[in-house]
Amino acid sequence: MSQNKNLEEDANQNPRVTWEGCSVLLDVNDGDRLVFARLTPASSLAIGNKKYALQPLIGCPFGSLFQVENGKEGPYLSLVLPTTTEVSGDNVQEKVYCQIKDESKDNRALVDNNTAQSLTGEDIDSMRRQGATGDEIVQALIANSATFEKKTSFSQEKYRLKKQKKYAPKVLLRRPFTRSICETYFKKYPARSGYLRVGTLSLLLSMGNVSPHSDVLVVDMVGGILTGAVAERLGGTGFVCNTYLGVTPYPIDIVRMFNFSSETCRRIVRCSLTDLCSSHNGTSVQICQPEEVCNFESQSKEEKSPLCSISMDETVLSSEKGMLDLVPETSISPATKACKSTKAGEKASQETINLWKENGFSSLIIATPDVDAWSIVKELLPFLSFSAPFAIYHQYIQPLATCMHNLQLGKMAVGLQISEPWLREYQVLPSRTHPLMQMSAFGGYILSGTKICIDGQR
Amino acid sequence: MLLVDPAKKISFNRYISDGDLVIVYERHDNMKAVKVCKDSVLQNRFGVFKHSDWIGRPFGSKVFSNKGGFVYLLAPTPELWTLVLSHRTQILYLADISFVIMYLEIVPGCLVLESGTGSGSLTTSLARAVAPTGHVYTFDFHEQRAVSAREDFERTGLKSLVTVGVRDIQGEGFPDDFCGKADSVFLDLPQPWLAVPSVGKMLKQDGILCSFSPCIEQVQRCCETLRANFTDIRTFEVLLRTYEVREGKMESCQADESGSTGSLPCKRRQRSSEGSNAKEVSGSPTIMARPSAEARGHTGYLTFARLRCLS
C-alpha cells in the first residue's frame, strides 16, 4: 500500500508530461526569450505582435518543440516531430564533406550593402496568406539570396537560423526545475533572485546536506528560489522553515514556479524569529530589531505589504521589452482552484515549532545578499542541532570574514571555510572549440561550517 | 548515513552509540572515519582516545585523550565522506558533485545510472539526492573496486539505495532492464562516446546525461556522438576558490605635514631611517580576507545533454 503511495508521490514530483494548470517554462528561439507560464485553456503567449494559444501544449511531454504554423484560423503552435533524416548518421558524413569544401571559402568577396536578397516584404506576406509554412518561407529567402552560396557552411547555418527565428519561431516546452528556474532568473532578472548563480545554489544545497527527512532552517531573501530548491530536494518529507527578522515574511514568489505536490507545499512553512524564540523555556530572549542590525536595500522597500500566504493567482509583471513575463490568466480553471487548499508558505503550527525546539534543525542555509551575516547567524545558531552543517551566501566577503572570525572566537563551529565558485562554459564544435565569449565573472561567496556541541549550551 | 531512517537524523537527541560511524575531526585537513566500538581505542598524535568515552555523547562533541589533547566527533555527511574515503581512483570533489546533481535534475524518487563507480564519492551524493524512494545503479568494470564500493555503502548505511554491478559499460552498454527507465545517467569513462548509444536507450525522454572527462579531446568526440540523438548540449568547468581570514594589525603610514616628497599614503610598515619624514601610526586590529595561494587548476569538463523527444 505504501509502495503505491510512494510511486504516486514520485509521479507527482517528477512528471514528464504537462497537465492542465501546470507551470511551465517556455524557451522561445533557443534561449532568446524565456517565459514562465501556466497552461490553461485560456492562456496564450505573445511572439512578435501575435498571440498564440497554449492549449496545444497541454498533455505533451516536457522537452517537446513547437513551431509557429499558418492555419486556416490564423497562426498557431504546432508540435514538431523530428524527422528520421535528422537523426541518421548520414548527416555527420555530409557535414564533414562540407567542412573540407569550406577551407577554401572566406568572406573577402562578401559586401554588406543590403542588396543580396531579392524577395521583398510584400512577397513574403503574400506567401503567408497563401498558407506557406515558416520553413518554406526560409527556403525561399535562401533561394533568393545572391550571396548565400559564397558563404562558408557555418555562415550559411547562421543565416538560416536568423531567418528561421523571425519567420518560423520555435517554442521549447521546458520543465520548471531548480536548474531552469535559477538560470532563467539569473539571466533575465538577477536582482530578484539575489544574483544567485546555479552553481552557487547547488553548493548551498550540498554544503547544507539537504536530504530527505531533514528540517532545514532557511533565511531566504532571494525571492524564494532557495526555499523552492530545498523543498525540491526534500521531496515531500521533512520541513523547510522559512524564518525572518521582524514581522514581515520575505516574499517567496518564485516557489510558485515549481510544480510542487500538495504534500511538498504543506512542508514549506514560515516562522518568525520572534515565534521561534518565544516560549523558549522561560529565558528572556533578545528580540532582534530589524532597524538596529540589518541594512535593507531598496529591494525590501517594494515588499512592505505583509505576504501571509502565496496565492495561485497569476499577476502580470511589468515586462521589459517582453523579456521575462508571466502569462496573464483570463480565467482560473477549476484545477488551479483546487490547488489553493495547500499553499506553500503557511505559518508553522505550534506543534511543529515545538518539535523543532526539541530536536533542533538538521541544517541552516542563509541567503541574505545585502544583510550582515553575523547578526543573523548568532540569532539562529542556537536552533541548529549539534554536528549540523550551515551555509551562508553573500555578495560581499567582509561580512562573511567577520562572521567566520566571530564563530572561531566563540568556538561555535569547525570546518569553517569561505569559498567562491568559479564557472566557465565551453562551446564544443569541430575545429571551433573554445570557452564562450561571455562569462559570468562572479557567483557570490559562501561561508560553510559545522556546528559543534559546547558543553552545557545549545 | 542517517538518510534512510528518519529516526537517525541529526538532532539534539541523537547520541553516539556502539556501531555508529563517526568522523573524527582533528583539523579541517585532517579527518578520518571511525566505527565506534565500545572496546576500541583511537590512537593519534594527541594521545589515546577510548571509544567508550564517546558512547552516549552527542555528535559534535569535543572529546579528550589520556594526554589532554582533543578531537571533535562529527556525524557523517556525503561532503565529509568525500574528504575521508579511501581513494582507489581519482575522485570527484564538492564543486563538481554539487553542480552535477543540480544539472542532472535529480530529485527524490529518481532512477540514476552511473559508470564507473570508482571510489564512490559521487555515488554517495547521488544516493542522498534520490532518497528515500529512488535508486542508484552504479557499474564498474573492475571487480575489486566494485567489492570495495559495496563495503563502503554498507558502512555508510546506503545499501538500500545503491546497487553496485560489475560490467564493462563501454563494451556492453547498460543492461536492457533499464531501457526507458532512467531519469539521469552519469558517465566517468575513458571513452564515453562508446556508451552514448546505450544511454540513449536507457533514458526517459527529456532525461539528462552527464559525462565527466579530464581531456578536451574526449569532450569533443563525445559531443560529436551526442549531436545525433541529444539536444541542449552544454560543457562546463567548475572550480572553487577558497579564502583565508586573518585578524591582523595593519600599520598605517602618515607623511609629515611639513611637506613630504608627496609620496602616497601607504599601509605598509616603513622602517624609520635617518632621512625619512614618515611617522608610524599603529592601526586597530582588522579582519582581512584574501584568496588562498594554492588552488586546484582543473578536475575535468562536465558535458550535459538531454535526450530528444521523439514522440
Nearest 10 degrees: Cα torsion A253, A256, A260, A263? 60
pLDDT for A13: 57
Same domain, B126 and B159: yes
Under DSSP, the state recorded for A245 is S
Q: Quick one: what percent of chain A has pLDDT higher than 90?
A: 43
Same domain, B184 and B231: yes
Same domain, B97 and B217: yes
Highest-pLDDT range among A432-441, B250-259, B265-274 = A432-441
Q: What is the ipTM of this complex?
A: 0.90
Number of residue pairs across A and B with CB atoms under 8 Å?
246
What are the angstrom distances between the C-alpha of A6 and each of A3, A10, A17, B109, B159? 5, 6, 19, 8, 19
pLDDT for A341: 56
Inter-chain contact B10–A198, Cβ cutoff 8 Å?
no
pLDDT band at B221 (very low <50, low <70, confident <90, very high): very high
pLDDT for A103: 59
Under DSSP, the state recorded for A384 is B
Whether B287 contacts chain A with CB within 8 A: yes
Same domain, B302 and B213: yes
pLDDT band at B177 (very low <50, low <70, confident <90, very high): very high
Distance in Å, alpha carbon of B242 to nearest chain A alpha carbon: 4
What is the mean predicted confidence (pLDDT) over A261-272? 93
Decide which of B76, B108, B130 is a domain's last residue. Answer: B76
What cell does A213 get?
Answer: 527527512
pLDDT band at A86 (very low <50, low <70, confident <90, very high): very low
Q: Which residues of A touch B20 (CB under 8 A)?
A: none
The number of angstroms, rounded, from the C-alpha of A439 to the middle of its chain's C-alpha atoms is 19
Q: Which residue has the higher pLDDT, B9 or B101?
A: B101
pLDDT of residue B247 exceeding 50: yes
Decide which of B76, B95, B125 is a domain's last residue. Answer: B76
pLDDT band at A148 (very low <50, low <70, confident <90, very high): confident
Same domain, B215 and B236: yes
Q: Using CB atoms, which residue from A63, A202, A358 is nearest to B102?
A: A202
pLDDT for A73: 64
Total domains present in chain B = 3
Same domain, B86 and B222: yes
Under DSSP, the state recorded for B165 is E
Q: Helix, strand or coil for residue A88?
A: coil
CB contact set of A457 (below 8 Å; sequence gap of 6+): none
Q: Which residue has the higher pLDDT, B283 or A167?
A: A167
Q: Which residue has the higher pLDDT, A75 or A17?
A: A17
Inter-chain contact A202–B28, Cβ cutoff 8 Å?
no
Short-list A418, A198, A393, CA closest to B238: A198
Q: Using CB atoms, which residue from A63, A81, A385 is nearest to B205?
A: A63
Inter-chain contact B109–A14, Cβ cutoff 8 Å?
yes
pLDDT for B283: 60
Q: What are phi and psi of A195, to 5 degrees?
A: 60, 30
Whether B233 contacts chain A with CB within 8 A: yes
Q: Where are the domains of chain A?
A: 15-83+121-175, 178-278+340-451
Q: Using CB atoms, which residue from A6, A417, A422 is nearest to B239?
A: A422
Q: Is B98 known to sit in a ligand binding site?
A: no
Same domain, B174 and B302: yes
Sign for the pseudo-dihedral over CA of B1, B6, B9, B14 = negative
Q: B90 lies in which domain range?
A: 80-240+296-307
pLDDT band at A162 (very low <50, low <70, confident <90, very high): confident
* pLDDT 10s digits, B65-84: 999 999 999 999 999 999 99
Q: What are phi and psi of A212, to 5 degrees?
A: -55, 150
Whether B234 contacts chain A with CB within 8 A: yes
| CA–CA gap between residue A68 and residue A52 (Å, rounded) | 9
What cell does B18 get?
Answer: 556502539
The number of angstroms, rounded, from the C-alpha of A244 to the middle of its chain's C-alpha atoms is 23
Nearest residue of chain A to residue B236 (CA atoms): A425
Whether B55 contacts chain A with CB within 8 A: no
Q: What is the CATH classification number for the domain harbouring B51?
A: 3.10.330.20
Q: Is B198 known to sit in a ligand binding site?
A: no
Same domain, B15 and B26: yes
Is the distance from CB of B208 to CB of B104 less than 8 angstroms? yes
Same domain, B253 and B169: no
Same domain, B119 and B265: no
Domain at A178-278+340-451: CATH architecture: 3-Layer(aba) Sandwich (3.40)
Decide which of B22, B50, B76 is a domain's last residue. Answer: B76
Q: Using CB atoms, which residue from A6, A417, A426 is nearest to B133?
A: A6
What is the mean predicted confidence (pLDDT) over A362-367? 96
What cell does A242 get?
Answer: 522559512
Inter-chain contact B28–A415, Cβ cutoff 8 Å?
yes
Q: Which residues of A touch B74 (CB under 8 A)?
A: 387, 414-415, 450
pLDDT of residue B280 exceeding 70: no
A240-259 burial, b for 16+ CB within 10 Å, e for fewer? bbbbbbbebbbbbbbbbbbb
pTM of the entire structure?
A: 0.84
Least confident range of A88-97, A387-396, B253-262 = A88-97
Q: Using CB atoms, which residue from B204, B240, B287 is nearest to A419?
A: B240
Q: Is B140 known to sit in a ligand binding site?
A: yes
